[in-house]
Structure 1
Amino acid sequence: MPARDRLSAAFVKSAPAGKHCDGQGLWLIKRENGGAQWVLRMTIHGRRREMGLGGYPSVTLAQARRRADDWRSVAERGDDPVKERQKQAREAARADPTLRTVALEAFEARKAELKGDGKAGRWFSPLELHVLPKLGRVPVEDIDQRDIRDTLAPLWHTKADTARKALNRLGIVLKHAAALGLDVDLQATEKAKALLGKSRHEAQNIPAMAWAEVPAFYATLTEQTVTQLAMRLLILTGVRSGPLRTLRLEQIDGDIWTIPAKAMKGRKGATSDFRVPLSSEALAVIDLASPFARNGFLFANSRGTVLSDMTLSQHMKRMKLEARPHGFRSSLRDWLAETTDAPHEVAETMLGHATGGAVVRAYRRTDFLEQRRVLLERWADHVTGGAGIVVKLVGAAK
């Protein structure tokens, strides 16, 4: 019999990204973003089967081992654990076929696909806040487009994005109910959308700080805390908060930060990693933040996992500012447009945007790294109030 109980609770808590075997088919899959999932691998009737046992740390090592033992027992008697669990889920849904029960089951089934196993609550919250209070106790088989319309109508023209997310999640829940064998109307959400009509809500841009005001705000970030250091690097690089919060030490090589392609947003058609040249000020911030690094993350929270996406926003709210962290990308873009003659392609690449059509991108072999290096050094000089060295961009920006 293969060895078992290879992992320890201490190792699991600080395990690096990768796959770690506890023995007898039980694996801990640790993702780069800090999330982790327990997976049990078995061979049933000559077929390899794999089933998730829950996310860590909500499921501890001891709990994962007990669950693994339970499902191994099912396999030993000749049954397929995956199908058995599906059968149990169907029976549970039939026993209490309310929308809330099925929605929670659908959320549990999707956790492994969500960032941090959905702990931030962003996937489930549109349902929890806007759908389940009215429809949670209704049998899922009874829900039709009129129920959905009446539930989301108050949001449809005022909080369109929230309503859209709630409608999307509800559609997923109905598909999950159908997979459980329940008789639901899979077209109910589309029908409800038709009944609701076109939203009159106009999207609002994320509030941004004027580029001329950024130095004064940057000067307030004097504390050597994870939050303030992360805010400083966010401003200096112009990246989105996602790649910044999940920045791992191995992504930095000298004065280049390489963001994995999968972590980038807004680069439709781009499959390559994105290189960010680091200014002298940015490197100094990274040096200050390095002692706080935990589990490979430069900006980790007190539990050693990825910094929450609300942390930076809350800091600006506490300062009574209307602007939000994402808005610093607009600050940088406006500064480029108003104070430099950086070509459009270079300026857009500064923000990680893919420019040109697929054919143009296929033939373009440059990411304008050196031009961006000069511009980001000048941007750092601006946000630090002129404390840096002004560098001229030859042939691209003055």
Structure 2
Amino acid sequence: MPKKAKELSIRAVQQLKEDGRYAVGGADGLHLRISNGSKAWVLRMLVGEKRRDLGLGSFPQIGLAEARDLAREMRKSVQAGQIPITPRKLAKEQLLAQQSTSKTFKECALALIASKSSEWKNAKHQQQWANTLTTYAYPTIGALAVDQIELPHILACLEPIWLSKTETASRLRGRIESVLDYATVRKYRSGENPARWKGHLDSILPKPSKVQKVEHHPAMPIDEVPAFIQSVVHKRGLAAQAMIFLILTATRSGETRGARWDELDLENKVWVIPADRTKTSTEHRVPLSTQALTLLSALPRINQSPFVFASPGGHQLSDMALNQMMRRMELKYVPHGFRSSFRDWAAERTNHPRELAEQALAHTLINKVEAAYRRGDALEKRRIMMQQWADHCIQSQK
């Protein structure tokens, strides 16, 4: 049995300087390759009968925790017989698409939406079409020429949400199929539609009706969030307050539970989460809404603890504190799912760009438009969005 690599910490990874390949542990075959000062993640594994190096992106744009997640997902996909689409390969395909004379998927989608808008009952239906494709399809296949799109590209759009957001994924599949049908009729592509369900994807993906109740991070529907918060407001204990703060800021459980008073700039209404506490290993600034500031102002200081949401002994709340609270309320949802609720709200109920919502969620941003948001931080634009989200969540308080 091969020896497992020692799990390196983010600090240890940051200190690696010499050219070479370093096993970082935490995911079989994951290495950090350093060349002329540049660092990149590589997954070394068998694909068929050949050992291959699959690029997973650059460090620190992709952090250690995210690289481990990507490596595990890539390994599962390859072992399931799927053709891996690495970030490097996808970028190459997108470049080829830009140089092609064929129409891109996004161009065809916009043309189809424009041509069909007159027969749709209302503007909301048109907006839902656009939002679904903008959120889940364009980041992966939007820039690709329609005659280049194949089954692996469709799976790259659908699989990440097929089990967790089955209804949305099913609608997405149908809309992608319609766009590719449009492209075929317009002679922009030929051959079989890779997004077709019957006799095609139904042999690969679970039937939607069988998996709708199976979710990795069950997300509360957007319209149920205000009532949930109202039911939590009067509960005793800091776990309830931490839950509300988590929802209002759309942050991860560990980031909320580990929040420290010295990270909060209440005068400028911003919470600065340091790089060593984020999944992407980069500092994340969170604009604080009026509701979030009101909640913070009412919190007690426990035994001079540095933690905002401290246990009675002054320690950080345990990982189970928030999960147990939801179980006691007999809810099927989990705290992490509120990030999906926020993302759904931003996509379906607002006109904010997808990139702004991704920035608010502190997701790794990979294309040029998203990278521009990362460089500029877009704090004030996010402040407007987060205040609107808080107004939705706590509707009686403005």
| Same structural fold, with TM-score higher than 0.5 when normalized by the shorter chain | no
Q: Tell me the TM-score normalised to structure 2 length.
A: 0.45
Normalising by the residue count of structure 1, what TM-score does the alignment of the two structures yield?
0.45
- Bigger radius of gyration, 1 or 2? 1
